[in-house]
Amino acid sequence: MILPLAFLAGSGVDQLALQMLLVFGAAKLLAELAERVRMPGIVGGLLSGILLGPSLLNLIQYNDLLHALAELGVMFLLFQVGLEVKVSELLRVGKTALLVAVSGVLVPFVMGYAIYIGAKHPQAEALFMGAAMVATSVGITAQVLSSKGLLEHRTAKIILGAAIIDDVLGLLVLAVVSSMGEGKGIDYTGLLTTTVVSIGFVVAIAKYGTDAARIVVPKLAERMRVPESEYAIAVTFLFGMALLASVSGVAAIVGAFLAGMALAEIASKRLHTLVHGAGELMVPFFLASIGLQLDIHAFASGSSLAMGIAILIAAVNSKALGCGAAAWRLGWKDAARIGIGMVPRGEVGMVIAQIGISRGAIGQEAYGVAVFMAVMTTVVAPPLLNLVYKDIAKPAADVPPDEAPLHLG
């Protein structure tokens, strides 16, 4: 450990190189080991953060640099997934996705709130715990399904569609909970504005993004003289959409996904290759960052550990059962796949926990429980997905005949 500490005391370039070496190297090494024992490589990436972080070796502290790299990683991941999903195909599962999203918000929120109220915790903590259990981190599920070549399966499309709706609904839940946690009344005007703007952004891009890209991108690429002009345009579009999404009130990663989806029907094989290469570089930082934010020492007391386990069990079951029940008419196997696919909370749950503690609405113990829940749901999801998808030999893009498109206005 002497060598890393010596480097960490050096220049900013030394720190950057060392942190990237440790995080990227450990993520890829443990991913390789995971694959060798027939586990998804993504599990190794998640465990690398736990290994390097405060829970075990404490070689790396999660900081602004790693946060920035993680944000880039998840944006490229969702952009890459978006390139594999056509708008028309996603809209075909719109009704089921809407039901899954609504159920996947209501059931986890009620369960989280009820557990904390039942344990005699303050109402503010109960509200924030319920909110932390609401949102789904689709990046983890998307990575697993992409690696297995299952993004064309109808359940994958329902999960992706539900996750986008889930993000908007989670944003509204957080807005209400934040107001109540601070002892203020609900700002109905602000809530309505946020709702209209965020939904309007998603609908506009989903409905018109592909047509606009089909007209603009090829003509612009033909006139540009820089190498890899299509890639330059695509990445610029990615960052622009991420920014617009963030400004409109939804997560930047939703903008990244929509950007990829808008380009899906015109993207060349070369663009897919270049985006995949960028993802291979950046995604390990996203995976490791989740584990880096977990500190198991927060569970020194038996009561906090028991609460963490109770919330984890509720978090898994509330999504698996709540979202699965909403998709039950597709058959129990697909319902189970959709329910498990919605389980990971990842960085979304941790962001809500950070908002709660920064505003004094929750204490350190509740914050630790929320982070534990977010990390562990993300760790357990990949092997569970492996299990529920193990009998699928090839993608099945069929959609039930009565599954009408979701009209966007």
**pLDDT tens-digit series, residues 202-232:** 888 888 999 999 999 999 999 999 999 999 9
**Quick one: which of 303, 297, 339 has its CA closest to 318?**
339
Highest mean pLDDT among 104-118, 121-135, 155-169, 177-191: 104-118
**Quick one: which of 181, 178, 182 has its CA closest to 170?**
178
- Encode pLDDT of 38-94 as tens digits: 888 888 998 999 999 999 999 998 999 999 999 999 999 989 989 988 887 787 888
We report the CATH number of the domain holding residue 85 as: 1.20.1530.20
**What whole-number percentage of the chain has pLDDT above 90?**
51
CB neighbourhood size of 232 (10 A): 15
**How far is 283 from 289, CA to CA, in rounded Å?**
10
Q: Using only C-alpha atoms, what is the Rg of the chain?
A: 21
Main-chain phi, psi angles of 342, to 5 degrees: -95, 0
Residue type, 206: A
pTM for the predicted model, two decimal places: 0.81
Please list, in sequence order, all residues whose beta carbon lies within 8 angstroms of the beta carbon of residue 67, skipping any fewer than 6 positions away. 289
- Domain assignment of residue 394, yes or no: no
- Encode pLDDT of 128-171 as tens digits: 999 999 988 878 888 888 888 899 899 999 999 998 888 788 87
- Domain assignment of residue 28, yes or no: no
**How far is 112 from 116, CA to CA, in rounded Å?**
6
CB neighbourhood size of 113 (10 A): 21
**How far is 315 from 312, CA to CA, in rounded Å?**
5
**How far is 239 from 23, CA to CA, in rounded Å?**
24
Q: How many alpha carbons lie under 13 Å from residue 136 in its C-beta half-sphere?
A: 38
For residue 30, name the pLDDT band (cuts at 50, 70, 90). very high
Please list, in sequence order, all residues whose beta carbon lies within 8 angstroms of the beta carbon of residue 15, skipping any fewer than 6 positions away. 7, 8, 65
- Domain assignment of residue 88, yes or no: yes
Tokens 């409905």: give the residue.
Answer: 207
**Residue 278: predicted pLDDT:** 96
**How far is 68 from 62, CA to CA, in rounded Å?**
10
For residue 2, name the pLDDT band (cuts at 50, 70, 90). very low
**Residue 155: predicted pLDDT:** 94
Query: Is 144 in contact with 337 (CB distance < 8 Å)?
Result: no
pLDDT of 13 higher than 80: no
**Residue 397: predicted pLDDT:** 44
Q: Biggest alpha carbon distance in the chain?
A: 65
How many domains, in total, are found in the chain? 1
**Mean pLDDT across the chain, nearest whole number?**
86
- Domain assignment of residue 259, yes or no: yes
How large is the average pLDDT for residues 7-20?
A: 71
In a 3-state reduction of DSSP, which class is residue 395?
Answer: coil
Range of the domain at 136: 73-388
Q: Find the angle CA(167)-CA(248)-CA(89) to the nearest 5 degrees.
A: 50
**Residue 404: predicted pLDDT:** 46
- Encode pLDDT of 286-326 as tens digits: 999 988 988 888 887 788 899 999 999 999 999 999 999 99
- Domain assignment of residue 185, yes or no: yes
Query: Is 146 in contact with 80 (CB distance < 8 Å)?
Result: yes
**Residue 129: predicted pLDDT:** 92
